[in-house]
Chains A and B, each alone.
Chain A
Amino acid sequence: MYFVGDESHSMAGDAIGAVNQGLIDLRDEVAKHPLIGKKVRFGIITFADTAQTRLELSELNEDLILPTLAPRGRGTSYSSALDALRQTIPGDVALLKGSGYQVHRPSVFFLSDGQPTEKEDKWRSRLDELKDPGFKERPNILAFGVGDADATVIQQVASAPRYAFMMTEGSSTAGAIAEFAASMLNSMVSSAERLDRGEQTIEFEKPEGFVQLDAPLV
């Protein structure tokens, strides 16, 4: 799982504070849970005008020292973050497989409080590369917008509309970010399998000779 976080200057103050606290809380919650810690590897990539890997994939345990995020640079480049993901994921997956693990499709939790300050084509084409069906290890992307983030853009970054979330009117950025961190934890805890939705609905009727069973079930 990758947390991809906005470190542009608009995040200064409460927002970035909430991110840092959220990461600490996440680590502590996972460390307390007996089963999740070993099943998850967590990485952090931040972006402002450039992207930086702040945490290589690590186990979330009480010994983990988390980086402190801080506003930097000039501008908000989604393309740098998306490109960083595209570059790092194959090697990360290969490393885990090489260590004998069976690996789930990676999840990306993307958080931004503003619009990309770059040409639209630039981040769109990086996004297309990341989402390319030919990219075997393409991640499931959940995108969260707070502050001045653009709802349409957030929806496009996400893998599906139901994976895009915007901060609600009237709520605080810090509050929204705390909820975001909780949702990262939740997705680690509830490993409920997804149903394959398939392509179309099928017509299906009662088969001939269907017999109800009488006895109650064990």
Chain B
Amino acid sequence: MRLARGPLTIGEPAPDIDVRLSGAEPYRPDAIADGGTAFGLVVRAASVRGLSKRFAGGPRQDDVCLRVHDASRMVIAAVADGVSGAPRSALGAALAVRHATAAVARQLDGGAGELDWRDVFDQAAWALVEEHRRFAGKPEAGVEETCESLATTLVVAAVRAPDDGTAGARVQLAAVGDSPALVLSGGAFSTVLGTPGDGLLGAGVEALPRFVRGVCEAECTLEPRTILLMCTDGLALPLAGGAGEVGRTLARELATPPDIIDFARLLDFSRSTYDDDRSLVAIWP
């Protein structure tokens, strides 16, 4: 019996290419996958390198991070998309998701009910500034310079598992940039955070640290049989609001939580012209 091989094709397949090893400093694996259950919430997370990076040998510039906070029965998730024009943004994305989830956890340690998102994003943005100062050997380097090197979007969610007997998980979310949060319910996708754009692509990307004051916040309740999704535009673009082939495939495959590795495999679907890095966190209440 052979292992099933290769990605799922949705629509016109992407071309077959020779994948180049990235192997740069810091080490960024081509694909990561995570998942498991906490307080009854089922979580899957994956981040995969896009074909254009695989062809060029560049690093994955997206990242995800998950955190469990036992005392408040919460799962914290963050997704970030390093701006490809900023040369160290792979590291920027990695720092942003780790510092943001840590900042939320610290607030929860302090007994916070409502999160102070400004603080969370300040911490994430500052981590980028500190890293740039360290790397460049410039203790006074500012936001502008940091952006050129480490800019990244960031979307963060804190999901509180319902207490026994009550349905619905309360979700607090915030974001800077074009990595959205959506809810999938009954096969339909609705945007909780992010702009379902109808215009042209290619406007400049709003990103940390520059847009640290441009945080958008939202809250929602995740009812049973709905799924919270956070992703980078590497997925949001082919998803295109969810009405097309990609939406139908995801809705079908996510009806029940896939195996951890299968989830990453699903995210890595083959579809012509969509060759950007992709990341996705899915949470089933």
Interface residues of A (CB under 8 A from B): 34-35, 38-39, 93, 100-105, 136-137, 140, 191-198, 201-202, 204, 206-207, 209-213, 217-218
* Contact between A211 and B200, CB atoms less than 8 A apart: no
Minimum C-beta distance from A26 to chain B (A):
19
* Contact between B51 and A194, CB atoms less than 8 A apart: no
Minimum C-beta distance from B235 to chain A (A):
13
Q: Which of A34, A192, A195, A210 contacts B147 (CB 8 A)?
A: A195
If the complex has contacts A105-B200, A137-B200, are A217 and B98 also in contact, measured as CB distance less than 8 A? yes
Instruction: Considering the complex, give the chain A residue whose CB is closest to the CB of B204.
Output: A196
List chain A residues, Cβ under 8 A from B55.
Answer: 34-35
B122-154 interface (Cβ within 8 A of A): 122-123, 125-127, 129-130, 142-144, 147-148, 151
- Per the CB 8 Å criterion, the residue count for chain B at the interface is 56
Q: Please report the C-alpha to C-alpha distance between residue A195 and residue B139 in the assembled complex, in whole angstroms.
A: 23
Minimum C-beta distance from A199 to chain B (A):
10
* Contact between B15 and A34, CB atoms less than 8 A apart: yes
* Contact between A204 and B52, CB atoms less than 8 A apart: no
* Contact between A102 and B213, CB atoms less than 8 A apart: no
Q: Which of A102, A105, A196 contacts B207 (CB 8 A)?
A: A196
- B79-87, B167-175, B216-224, B253-261: which lies at the interface: B79-87
Q: Please report the C-alpha to C-alpha distance between residue A34 and residue B151 in the assembled complex, in whole angstroms.
A: 28
Interface residues of B (CB under 8 A from A): 14-17, 26-27, 29, 32, 51-52, 55, 83-86, 91, 94-95, 98-99, 102, 106, 119, 122-123, 125-127, 129-130, 142-144, 147-148, 151, 199-207, 209-213, 237, 240, 244, 272-273, 275
* Contact between B143 and A201, CB atoms less than 8 A apart: yes
- Could you say which of B83, B91, B240 has the most chain A C-beta atoms within 10 Å of its C-beta? B83
Q: Which of A104, A209, A218 contacts B200 (CB 8 A)?
A: A104
* Contact between B204 and A207, CB atoms less than 8 A apart: no
Top 10 closest pairs, chain A to chain B, by CB: A196-B204, A207-B122, A104-B202, A192-B85, A34-B15, A105-B202, A104-B201, A105-B200, A193-B84, A192-B84
Minimum C-beta distance from A191 to chain B (A):
7
Please report whether the interface of chain A is mostly helix, strand, loop or mixed according to DSSP.
loop
Instruction: Considering the complex, give the chain B residue whose CB is closest to the CB of A198.
Output: B210
User: Can you name 13 A-B residue pairings with CB atoms under 8 Å?
Assistant: A38-B272, A101-B273, A102-B237, A105-B200, A192-B84, A192-B85, A194-B205, A195-B148, A198-B206, A201-B142, A202-B212, A204-B212, A217-B26
Minimum C-beta distance from A104 to chain B (A):
4
* Contact between B205 and A207, CB atoms less than 8 A apart: no
Minimum C-beta distance from A216 to chain B (A):
8
Q: Please report the C-alpha to C-alpha distance between residue A195 and residue B210 in the assembled complex, in whole angstroms.
A: 10
Q: Which of B16, B126, B237, B275 contacts A210 (CB 8 A)?
A: B126
